[in-house]
Amino acid sequence: MDKFWAHLIKVQPDPDPWVVVVSALVALVIVGFRMPWQVSRGLITIAHEGGHALMALLTRRKLEGIRLHSDTSGVTLTRGRPTGPGMVLTALAGYLAPPLLGLGAAWLTEQGHITLLIWGVLLLLVCMLLLIRNLYGALILLVTGGAVFALIMYAPADVQQVVALVAAWFLLFGGVRPIIELQHKRRRRQARDSDADQLARLTVLPGGFYVFFFLLVSLTSVAFGAYLMNPL
């Protein structure tokens, strides 16, 4: 255990500045273009639903399971009071989870704790797998977890560092785009049961306020994440 702990918390040297810049550009291309975004958006959904699930547990709601769908949507099933702070916080957590996770990943990469970051991601995926209630969701988590495990076991340290940087940027950028897409759907009245609209029904504030709040947190996370990973 001592050897494993030492391996877990070892600090890697800072990446070359060009590696950080290229990683950011790769993540921006993935999020900004339609085809790679459609392929990778499910990873943001995993983080989104994981945020709902974690907050449900923290607020002592009964967590009944998570479903991930092939159209990259998802749902977290909880049971408890239909109103109150626990329900509000659970609904808030979804869109906030990807950018905040990205900010945490940015901080860990800046500190050189790449190994700790990757093992942490694997642990979160395993925990979510225990809560999945549909076959497609289980398959996606097994594939993603298998890729992360292979990265731990077989990839050299410099490759792990690059993947961690891309992942951090991807979570930061990928946390913004779903919020913009949400607002577009709300304008066309295609998202009546979105997190923002559920929050509007739970509180006195309109759904647009929550969209703005989600976007504010996401953009702030991008700014601070970029500051932390700034190669200069």
- Judge whether 8 lies within some domain: no
Taking only the tens place, the pLDDT of each residue in 177-227 is: 999 999 999 888 887 889 999 999 999 999 999 999 999 999 999 999 999
What local confidence, expressed as pLDDT, does residue 1 receive? 77
Query: What is the average per-residue pLDDT within 105-130?
Result: 95
- Judge whether 7 lies within some domain: no
Contacts (Cβ under 8 Å, ≥6 apart) of 211: 179, 182, 183, 186, 196
pLDDT at 151 over 90: yes
179 is written with which tokens?
Answer: 């919020």
What local confidence, expressed as pLDDT, does residue 157 receive? 92
Instruction: Give the whole-angstrom CA distance, residue 115 versus residue 161.
Output: 9
- Judge whether 209 lies within some domain: yes
- Judge whether 155 lies within some domain: yes
- Judge whether 11 lies within some domain: no
Query: What is the average per-residue pLDDT within 141-167?
Result: 95
pLDDT at 232 over 80: no
The pTM (predicted TM-score) of the whole model is: 0.94
Phi-psi region of 75 (alpha: psi -120 to 50; beta: other; left: phi over 0): beta
pLDDT at 9 over 90: no
- Judge whether 9 lies within some domain: no
Q: What is the CB neighbour count within 10 angstroms for residue 117?
A: 23
- Judge whether 1 lies within some domain: no
75 is written with which tokens?
Answer: 């749902």
What is the Cα gyration radius of the chain?
Answer: 18
Look up the domain containing 196 and give its range. 18-229
What local confidence, expressed as pLDDT, does residue 210 receive? 96
The number of domains in the chain is: 1
Query: What is the average per-residue pLDDT within 128-150?
Result: 95
pLDDT band for position 92 (cuts 50, 70, 90): very high
Q: How far is CA 69 from the centre of its chain?
A: 16
Label residues 12-28 b or e (16+ Cβ within 10 Å = b).
Answer: beebeeebbeebbebbe
Nearest CA among 99, 73, 93 for reference residue 175? 99
- Judge whether 38 lies within some domain: yes
